[in-house]
Amino acid sequence: MAALVPASRPPLSFPPSRRAGLGAMRRCAGHAGELQKDETNEDFVQVRRRDLERLTTEVMQLRDFLPKILDGDVVWTFQKLDAVESSLEKKEEEIEQLKMDCEHFRARLEAAQADCMREKKEKLDLRQHLREAKQQLLQQAEYCTEMGAAVCTLLWGVSNNEEAVKTILGGSKAAKFFTITAQTMESFVKSLSEDMKQQDLDSDENQFVLALAGIVTNVAALACGREFLVSSSRDLLDTMMHLLGELKPGLCTKFKVLMLMSLYNVSINLKGLKYISESPGFIPLLWWLLNDPLSVLPSSSRSERWETQVMCGIRLGVLPWGKVKISLLQAEMCLVWISGKVLVSDILNNRLSRNKMQSVVLL
């Protein structure tokens, strides 16, 4: 194919209809050529029609025969390339989606970290408040213990007066006071550690509980006090009988003695004696205490401890005298405590009667 630009050769002749079509084509081509010429500043090349048709035919033939000429591997490679390109496009889309998800999760992570830091700060503040509250509670507990020890010690001294005891029992808070007394005694015994071998007798807690037990003992020394305890404060009696079995031998000896003195005074009342004797497990507990009097009784000489043990056994109905075994309900009392004014000889000679029994009053 040659590009010819003849100067003297006349143009081709065509029929009128074809000339009209060619004219339109020329106008379009001229318009396109002008545009292309403006863009590229290149001139058009005139090509013979025959050469153009031959070029078209060759292009069509090449198009038909190209797959036959090319190797199958090349075609498969192109097809695979297309598939790889499609897969690559999908991967790129997935990567973009993952990037968006990553940004989303990063934002959520930052928000969660901010919340975590805020909650951590709040937790630290709460711990600080908790420490302060614990410290305040400890101070209040110490203050209440000191106040209770002081007030109850004073009340213990006042309770040896009969009129004062009647005034206490006549108040509206008497039953509540003895309920709190039972709860305080039980809490005190529970607070004692298992490995505790020696107790601080001068501590406020110990003085508090001893004062409460002393008040109960002095109240029970009066007939009206015994009647009140048996009628309205049986929980206190149950608590004291229970705690006598909970305390280890040799521990809280004064506290044990005061509780036994209280129960001794209550047993002077017929209803009190009956209630105590019907308490399950209390008689075996007293027998166990009798077998180890050193852990309860404050006597120092052997003779006093022996007389105490014999007397208590007779009063409990667990030791025979002569050929008669004294029963529990016929005994003069059922508790382990010996007053300095009560002699073994009086018991053995049956010189004491229920009306002549002396209650224990602590000054």
Higher pLDDT, 311 or 227: 227
Report pLDDT digits (tens) over 70-84: 666 766 777 888 888
pLDDT value at residue 292: 56
Confidence of residue 279 (pLDDT cuts 50, 70, 90): confident
Residues comprising the chain, all counted: 363
Cα 294 to Cα 256, 257, 276, 278, distances in angstroms: 12, 11, 23, 26
Res 116 pLDDT > 90: yes
Confidence of residue 126 (pLDDT cuts 50, 70, 90): very high
Look at residue 302 and tell me if it is in a domain.
Answer: yes
Higher pLDDT, 129 or 80: 129
Report pLDDT digits (tens) over 155-179: 999 988 899 999 989 888 999 999 9
pLDDT value at residue 51: 87
**Number of domain units in the chain:** 1
pLDDT value at residue 309: 44
| Structure-token match 């052997």, residue found | 302
Res 217 pLDDT > 50: yes
Look at residue 54 and tell me if it is in a domain.
Answer: no
Residue 267 host element (H or E):
helix 253-267
Look at residue 106 and tell me if it is in a domain.
Answer: no
How many Cβ atoms sit within 10 Å of the Cβ of residue 332? Answer: 20
Higher pLDDT, 222 or 302: 222
How large a percentage of the chain has pLDDT more than 90?
Answer: 29
Question: How large is the average pLDDT for residues 186-191?
Answer: 89
The DSSP code for 134 is H
Distance CA 300, CA 305 (A): 7
Res 278 pLDDT > 60: yes
Confidence of residue 13 (pLDDT cuts 50, 70, 90): very low
Res 349 pLDDT > 50: no
What are 324's strand-pairing partners? 321
Distance CA 215, CA 234 (A): 16
Look at residue 98 and tell me if it is in a domain.
Answer: no
Higher pLDDT, 132 or 36: 132
Closest by CA to 177, choosing from 204, 211, 201, 203, is 211
Q: What is the SS3 string spanning 154-205?
A: HHHHHCCCHHHHHHHHHCCCHHHHHHHHHHHHHHHHHHCCCCCCCCCCCCHH
Higher pLDDT, 331 or 266: 266
Report pLDDT digits (tens) over 17-64: 444 444 555 554 555 555 555 555 566 778 888 888 888 998 888 887
| Structure-token match 């401890």, residue found | 305
The DSSP code for 354 is G
Look at residue 63 and tell me if it is in a domain.
Answer: no
pLDDT value at residue 313: 43
Distance CA 90, CA 168 (A): 93
Look at residue 62 and tell me if it is in a domain.
Answer: no
Confidence of residue 257 (pLDDT cuts 50, 70, 90): confident
Closest by CA to 285, choosing from 229, 339, 238, 228, is 238
pLDDT value at residue 26: 56
Confidence of residue 101 (pLDDT cuts 50, 70, 90): very high
Look at residue 276 and tell me if it is in a domain.
Answer: yes
Look at residue 149 and tell me if it is in a domain.
Answer: no
pLDDT value at residue 311: 41
Report pLDDT digits (tens) over 136-152: 999 998 899 899 889 99
Res 344 pLDDT > 60: no
Report pLDDT digits (tens) over 285-340: 777 776 654 444 444 444 444 444 444 443 444 433 332 233 333 333 334 333 33
Q: Which domain holds residue 339?
A: 159-191+200-356
pLDDT value at residue 96: 93
Question: How large is the average pLDDT for residues 119-131?
Answer: 94
* CATH number of the domain residue 240 falls in: 1.25.10
